[in-house]
Structure 1
Amino acid sequence: MIELGKIQKMVIVRRSKIGVYLNSKNDEIMEEILLPKNQVSNEMQLDDEIDVFVYKDSEDRLIATIKTPKITLGEIAMLRVVDITGIGAFLDWGLEKDLFLPFKEQLGKIREGDYYIVGLYIDKSERLCATMKISRLLEDQSPYKENDRVKGIIYSINKELGAFVAVDNKYHGLISSSEFLGACDYGDNVDVRVKQVKPDGKLELSFRKEAHNEIDDDSDKIYKKLRYRGGSINLNDKSSPNAIKLEFNMSKSAFKRAIGRLYKEQKINITEKGIELK
């Protein structure tokens, strides 16, 4: 069976003046698809099995290519806008025919030359199109559990909620605003820890290590900063979260845990003005 939008193995079944025709291996239905002449090498022979990507040409006919596109069905990628028209935008995905991004699948203002994170889907007319509405392409149930390390791409940022992550380009993930701390930006690839698997299966993510390890790291960071700053900093457990974030790029709760550790180890004093080395 020929699968639109995917890289697949196909067999050369016959030649013609315009290229070679391919069919899926062991496919009882003799559905043939053209690989254009300009992509046929001298080494290609009848009955050879080759890897091709299947999409539609400008006349909506199925066609094969040996080129590898920048995105395939079910994947997410950051693509550049090469043209904006009255019906939508067109993206460079590495093939002769640009990828269509309909108006209804856009989020915010689109500008030519800029890069946007999109997913690839098949529309009602059986055409491959791009969408910026990544969330609907992601799954809730992942194989991950608490404290697993995962990788993903940030596809949306909400100042109140945090950064939305497509884990493995497949699963829902969120770095909460308290954890995000402005450490990354839209389109960044991240390596994070699963902080919690929510009841609905979605993943709550964190840049930080497990609690017992992050206290060690935070304490060491604060201690080194104190030494660098001459032994004192005008911040303590009563300081504002924004001031702590600006100085240490950590949440207030993490800061309080860390200075508590340093105080118990008798490395610092906590005063009304801030903290200082003993």
Structure 2
Amino acid sequence: MKELGKISSLLINRFTANGAYLALREGGEVLLPKSYLKGEEKEGEELEVFVYTDSEDRPVAVTNRPTALLDEFAVMEAREITDFGAFMDWGLPKDLFVPKSEMGKTMEVGGKYLVMVCQDYKTNRLIGVSKYEDFILTDTQAYAAGQEVDALIFEETDLGFKTLIDGSYEGLIYKNEVFQPLKVGDKTKAFVKKRRDDGKIDLQLLPSGREKYEEGAEKILEALKVRKFLPLQDKSSPESIKELLGMSKKHFKQSIGQLYKAKKITIHEDGIRLV
């Protein structure tokens, strides 16, 4: 079935007491349960649905969109752990099953893990696979320092935060370079710091060079527009600066220097004020 695991636009063939039967492209039908109907639909109308299998392994359509489609990654929370595998929350009534043989590491209930949605061709079911390394692309030559990317935080380590870049590549944001709250499952914009020999990419949350300080200056201006005064100056502790602005002391000093030269702020012994 070509529609399995994908978002498809299917025509309504007929209605029954259980819902609407939609026509599959290669013949046959799939049920859209009554609970997903508004009551305004008509035969021949086209509906956008997601097709997967229910608890009895029968194809079923839903109007919900899961957190990931077939061959896509998402961070999912483990709802139940059994001797055979884990059941993951992916935004649908039926949880996604990750077989024990497809687990990259031991899972715990409530934990969040990077999972790819795959098709088990023996059973034609959709399953999850948390052995993400099997699917990560390593040819990162197209990435250059300073390039902006979409990053999904999927694991926190002692070194930093592992990220999925543009849905296909692995990256790392070093913990000592993070000055804002980050947690597993967060999606954020990041910038390539360097490309490593193993194909992985080091990332940073702020662009390098002058753009970095312009962004920091803008952040300080926005804070001053709300508070008019910030009890911070170049002798403030790094902890105070991080708590109020979420940036490093070096970043802060560079930014207020730009703002001062631009005559946007005045600097005093007790802090900075908006002009």
TM-score of Structure 1 vs Structure 2, range by shorter chain: 0.5 to 0.7
2-structure distance, mates of 1:213, 1:62: 51
1:86 corresponds to 2:83: yes
User: Are the equivalent residues in 2 in contact too, given 1:163–1:180 (CA < 8 A)?
Assistant: no
CA RMSD in angstroms comes to 3.7
In the alignment, which residue of structure 2 is the partner of 1:45? 42
2-structure distance, mates of 1:175, 1:90: 29
Q: Which has the larger radius of gyration?
A: 1
2-structure distance, mates of 1:76, 1:176: 22
2-structure distance, mates of 1:169, 1:122: 18
In the alignment, which residue of structure 2 is the partner of 1:6? 6
User: Are the equivalent residues in 2 in contact too, given 1:2–1:23 (CA < 8 A)?
Assistant: no
Secondary structure, counterpart of 1:151 in structure 2: strand
- CA offset digits 1:108-165 (Å, max 9, x no partner): 44232343332222224322112222233333456643311112112234445x4321
In the alignment, which residue of structure 1 is the partner of 2:148? 149
Cα distance, 1:179 vs structure 2: 5.1
Mapping of residues 181-200 of structure 1, within 5 Å? 184-198=182-196
1:30 corresponds to 2:30: no
Secondary structure, counterpart of 2:64 in structure 1: coil
Cα distance, 1:22 vs structure 2: 1.3
User: Are the equivalent residues in 2 in contact too, given 1:78–1:118 (CA < 8 A)?
Assistant: yes
2-structure distance, mates of 1:38, 1:214: 50
Secondary structure, counterpart of 2:21 in structure 1: strand
In the alignment, which residue of structure 2 is the partner of 1:57? 54
Mapping of residues 203-218 of structure 1, within 5 Å? 203-211=201-209
2-structure distance, mates of 1:216, 1:3: 47
1:169 corresponds to 2:154: no
Cα distance, 1:197 vs structure 2: 4.0
Cα distance, 1:216 vs structure 2: 9.5
2-structure distance, mates of 1:182, 1:105: 33
Counting aligned pairs with the same residue, the percent is 32
Secondary structure, counterpart of 1:130 in structure 2: strand
Secondary structure, counterpart of 1:90 in structure 2: strand
Q: 2:118 aligns with which of 118, 121, 141?
A: 121
Q: Given the superposition, is the C-alpha separation of residues 166 and 32 from structure 1 closer, same or farther in structure 2, using an over 3 Å criterion? A: same
2-structure distance, mates of 1:178, 1:112: 29
In the alignment, which residue of structure 2 is the partner of 1:274? none
* Alignment TM-score, normalising by the size of structure 1: 0.66
* Alignment TM-score, normalising by the size of structure 2: 0.67
Cα distance, 1:44 vs structure 2: 1.3
User: Are the equivalent residues in 2 in contact too, given 1:74–1:137 (CA < 8 A)?
Assistant: no
2-structure distance, mates of 1:46, 1:217: 54
Compare 39-48 and 77-86 and name the one that shifted more: 77-86
- CA offset digits 1:181-229 (Å, max 9, x no partner): 99744433332211234567643322343246669999xxxxx765236
- CA offset digits 1:225-248 (Å, max 9, x no partner): 65236xxx9xxxxxxxxxxxxxx9
Instruction: State the one-letter code of the partner of 1:166.
Output: L
User: Are the equivalent residues in 2 in contact too, given 1:53–1:66 (CA < 8 A)?
Assistant: yes
1-structure distance, mates of 2:167, 2:13: 35
Secondary structure, counterpart of 1:228 in structure 2: coil
Count, aligned residues = 231
2-structure distance, mates of 1:182, 1:106: 31
2-structure distance, mates of 1:16, 1:193: 53
